[in-house]
Amino acid sequence: MENELFEKTPVPKAYFKFALPVVLSMVVSLVYNMVDTYFIAQTGNTNLVAGVSLSAPVFTLMIALGDIFGLGGSSLISRLFGEKKDEDGKRLSVFCFYAAIVCGILVTAVMMMLREPILYVLGANAETLSYASGYYTYIVLGAPFIILSFTPSNLLRTEGFATATMTGSILGAVVNMILDPVFISVLGLGAAGAAIATVIGNIFADIFYVWFLLKRSRRLSINPAGFHIHIAEVGQILAIGIPASITNLMQSIGIALTNRSLLPYGNDKVAAMGIVMKVNLIAVLVLVGFAFGAQPLVGYNYGAKNHARLKEILRFSYSFECCTAAVLAGALSLAAPAMIGMFMQDAAIIEIGVPMLRMQQMGMVFTAVVLVTTCTFQSAGKAVGAFLLSISRQGVLFAAVLFIASKAFAYQGVLMAQAVSDLLTAVMAVILFEILIRRPLYR
């Protein structure tokens, strides 16, 4: 990819060139998530829906682990390309690819040994254990394929191949959607069928990415011949990759904490929240796509020390992201009854889910601020800032807010916890951005 796209193309055009393919892949991923939930919900079995919802954090954990080498590697490689150190970037891409595979194998071994204790920690009970276990087992067995798919999908964007990233994501999601009804309904595998379809979809995506890296990429590689890496380079990848991973890991923890907080109020509340989380992904995935889709553009210009262009990119990113968040939040709040009813035509579930969904949307603009700031920290190699934001919004800060709100306001406190956490994390993001980015750039 010509450097002109990184260095000279007007910012809005370059931004959308990088971000739109990622957003489109996120939209396809969103459609897959909704189709997955739809076929599960069509069984009419509330305990099955709740069981899959309880195990959903396991899949998010796989994404988190893939981000260690995907986002961590792409952050460093983008900056190396900006510094014209292409050979170093190629070496590190080899490390990221194989490290993801090894990580997946280790995760499968550990999580299969600890299957039952983990399921109970996630909140499974006598009614939901068999469903949660079926989904958990096959997702964990597919961990190497799932974790791997999130590594080249991020690395390819450092070379400007955002469309290839989109193609791989779409291929995996389409295969997944085709297989979902076959495994869930036709073969009667239920929750386990949904997990099997997910793993097979990721295998197809992996095959595409390997083909593309071998045939089309010039600055990335999976060839281990003559490979070497320095401990300091591994440290730089992990310094950004681990906070990026923690962002998704905290999402898993946040969902698990919410589900456990809702359990005293009944499995129907957990089932409704599982559907609400899927609908909420409409806004979240679009915002993630725009924020992180432009990450190579930010990282390249930071590495090249092109501060004037970097400031222009950041101004555009924050403005566009916050406006998009406001529009999406308003639309989903208005359409809440219809959106939840699409998944489960149960008046009780709809009545429970509507206020849940609307409460989630109240923090969406604040989420946009956090996402762009987190992306900026990762791109610039600001590990401390990325780490602090990563552990806050759905992690430490969320847990504290959830505990206090649930004690003070009971059920309503559980519903409002995420929006309050979003606001507080956005305030933290603004302060950290001022210290770590704005002052060094504008002084």
Q: What is the pLDDT of residues 285-302, one digit of tens each?
A: 889 888 877 788 888 888
Say which amino acid occupies 126: A
Structure confidence at residue 361 (pLDDT): 93
| 443 residues of the chain, pLDDT tens digit each | 456 777 788 888 888 888 887 787 777 766 766 666 667 766 666 667 766 767 777 877 788 788 888 888 888 888 888 788 888 888 989 999 999 999 999 999 998 988 888 888 777 767 777 777 878 888 899 999 999 988 888 888 888 787 888 888 889 888 988 898 888 777 877 778 888 888 999 999 999 999 999 988 888 888 887 678 888 888 888 887 887 777 767 776 787 788 888 888 887 888 888 888 878 888 888 898 888 777 888 888 887 888 888 889 999 999 999 999 999 999 999 998 998 888 777 788 888 889 999 999 999 999 999 999 998 998 887 888 888 888 888 788 998 999 999 999 999 998 999 999 999 999 999 999 998 887 776 65
Structure confidence at residue 298 (pLDDT): 86
Residues 71, 291: contact at Cβ < 8 Å?
A: no
Residues 345, 338: contact at Cβ < 8 Å?
A: no
Distance set, CA 128 to CA 187, 191, 383, 415 (Å): 20, 11, 39, 22
Residues 138, 199: contact at Cβ < 8 Å?
A: yes
How far apart are the C-alpha atoms of 334 and 138, rounded to whole Å? 37
pTM of the full structure = 0.72
Residue (of 441, 302, 432) closest to 369 by Cα position: 432
Residues 246, 184: contact at Cβ < 8 Å?
A: no
How far apart are the C-alpha atoms of 439 and 403, rounded to whole Å? 36
How far apart are the C-alpha atoms of 47 and 326, rounded to whole Å? 34
Structure confidence at residue 68 (pLDDT): 86
Structure confidence at residue 322 (pLDDT): 95
Place of tokens 């109970």: 120
Structure confidence at residue 248 (pLDDT): 66
Structure confidence at residue 51 (pLDDT): 67
Q: Quick one: CA torsion of 65, 66, 72, 76, rounded to 10 degrees?
A: 160
How far apart are the C-alpha atoms of 386 and 376, rounded to whole Å? 8
Structure confidence at residue 1 (pLDDT): 45
Q: Quick one: CA torsion of 421, 427, 430, 436, rounded to 10 degrees?
A: -80
**DSSP, residue by residue, 126-191:** TTTHHHHHHHHHHHHHTHHHHHHHTTHHHHGGGGT-HHHHHHHHHHHHHHHHHHHHIIIIIS--HH
How far apart are the C-alpha atoms of 142 and 37, rounded to whole Å? 19
Three-class SS of 23-49? HHHHHHHHHHHHHHHHHHHCCCCHHHH
